[in-house]
Amino acid sequence: MNLKKDVCVIGGGVMGLATAYYLLKAGKSVAILEKAEIGGGASSSCDDMILLQSKKPGIALTLAMESLEIYRGLSDELGSDLGFYSHGGMIIIEDEKQLKIMEDFVKKQVSYGLDVEIVDRNTLFKKQPHVARYMIASTYSKSDSQVNPLMLMRAFLHNGLNMGLDVLRNTIVQEIKQQGDHWNVSGQNGIHVECDNVVIAAGAWSGQVGELFDIEIPITPIKGQLAVTEQIAPIGETNCWTAAYIASKHDPSILGDRSSYDKEIGLGFSFTRAGEGNYLIGSTREHVGFEKATDFKAISKILEQARKYFPIMNQVNIIRTMAGFRPGTKDGSPIIGAVDGFPGLYIAAGHEGDGVALSPITGKSVAEMICGVGNHKRFEELNLRRFAVALAKG
């Protein structure tokens, strides 16, 4: 099958669908080439957070705030319930050392315009009546939100198809060739797309796509495991994380007494209640290639934490476990923008655990770059070339 399109998007996850949607809205014709099925990678094996508090003050936080603004109007725009809620979020703090780091962190975030504060024990216990009593404080931001990635993908897909989107599933891209001023993208199944632009939105698989034209896209799969509980009533006002995980990014000594196993699986804690009432409890950060099975020991560790922080979770039933491959980069920031030396080629990948949160702003911005609209100077620092520069500097 031969297709002629303005843009070919590689990857049918939340990032590819968002990018396709904004391109179609701008009047471009688009085909998505997807190696398996919609949302087959990280987009269906993740939680639902739009978490602002965890973002480093800087471009990460700015983009998350912009994305949240888009989310506020997106249900109406797409004509679908997206399971979007702003219940706020709390990062619970176990000791003075964590508190000190979180105080500095919060101060910086406030300077970037995020409404976040440190609250005392009493406020924490009021908002989280079931949290372990040894906690000393918490952060609180009413901006932290959540969106159901599955409903989001359905809405982007449905709206896209209505605007003429072609989705080619089971299509593994095998060749991307520049011909004159356009590109030819071919799949293993005889599908060829002739297009002006190519967007690589293949998540953890983006590095493999880059190999097709000898570009190193330094994105590696980071496996994250989650446990899903049965549906229960809310046990607190907001979703929660622990300071240990966030503080450790700034001062690894915080996690000094962890077991080697916990370090190996990159054990962290996230605790969110999806719209239907299932709690999604995570998570791990494992460097194990594309090995997708969930394992008993890691899940048991994740649950051990949940029960330590929220003893009431002892009694809750686990109905499913899942693992997804977060597309991770070396510096923890996504790769967004044009690829030097390959006119018409763009990357929208490497968001690790922030893909769902950042998909609207990423998709919209990449679509604008392709259409030559707007000023995207702030994306310079997220361009792929930063790694080449880092390499050159040695």
Partner 1 sequence: MCDELICRCEEVSREEIEAAITDGAVTMNEVKRFTRAGMGLCQGRTCRRLVERILSEKTNTPLSEIQTSSYRQPVRPVRSDLIQEYNNLEEEQ
Candidate list 25, 56, 169, 376; residue touching partner 1; CB under 8 A: 169
Q: How many residues interact with partner 1 (rule CB under 8 A)? A: 38
Smallest distance, partner 1 to C-beta of residue 378, A: 33
Candidate list 300, 330, 390, 391; residue touching partner 1; CB under 8 A: 300
Helical (H) or strand (E) element with 49: strand 49-50
In single-letter form, the type of residue at position 173 comes to V
The residue whose two tokens read 């594309």 is 290
**Residue 131, interface with partner 1 (CB under 8 A)?**
no
CA-nearest of 269, 332, 328 to 298 is: 269
Near partner 1 in 143-162, by CB under 8 A: 150-151, 153-154, 157-158, 161
Q: Is 219 helix (H, G, I), strand (E, B) or coil?
A: strand
**For residue 386, what are the contacts with CB-CB under 8 A and spacing of at least 6?**
331
In single-letter form, the type of residue at position 10 comes to I
Site string for partner 1, 248-277 (x = CB under 8 A): ----------------------------x-
Smallest distance, partner 1 to C-beta of residue 157, A: 5
Whole-number Cα distances in Å, 262 to 240, 283, 305, 364: 20, 11, 11, 38
Q: Retrieve residue 351's tokens.
A: 């968001």
Candidate list 318, 332, 342, 371; residue touching partner 1; CB under 8 A: 318
Near partner 1 in 197-236, by CB under 8 A: 227, 229-231
**Residue 322, interface with partner 1 (CB under 8 A)?**
yes
- Of 108-116, 199-207, 316-324, 352-360, the segment contacting partner 1 by CB under 8 A is 316-324
CA-nearest of 43, 30, 54, 15 to 349 is: 15
**Residue 40, interface with partner 1 (CB under 8 A)?**
yes
Say what the alpha-carbon torsion angle 256, 259, 262, 266 is, to the nearest 10 degrees: 30
Q: Retrieve residue 304's tokens.
A: 């051990």
**Residue 308, interface with partner 1 (CB under 8 A)?**
no
Give residues in contact with partner 1 (CB under 8 A): 37-40, 44, 150-151, 153-154, 157-158, 161, 167, 169, 227, 229-231, 276, 294, 296-297, 299-300, 303-304, 306-307, 313-322
